[in-house]
Amino acid sequence: MIDTAATVAAFEMMTRIADGTGTTHPSARLDDFEVVRTELGLDQFESARVGPGTAND
């Protein structure tokens, strides 16, 4: 359980670092993200409202 919590925390930290530095992605990659998000149903999650390809990117 502790390992799982540490892994989740590390991923959250990396996302915050990338967001804070203004990391950008080429438009072709954003198109690929859209396909993956749709296939996996990721837009249903609250965190999907912020990120590449959203109004808040």
Per-residue pLDDT at 31: 83
Domain assignments of the chain as residue spans, ordered by start:
25-57
Per-residue pLDDT at 52: 55
Mean pLDDT by 10 residues, the chain (57 residues): 87 78 77 86 76 55
Query: Is the distance from CB of 37 to CB of 26 less than 8 angstroms?
Result: no
Instruction: Record the pTM.
Output: 0.37
Give the N- to C-terminal CA distance of the chain in Å, as an integer: 33
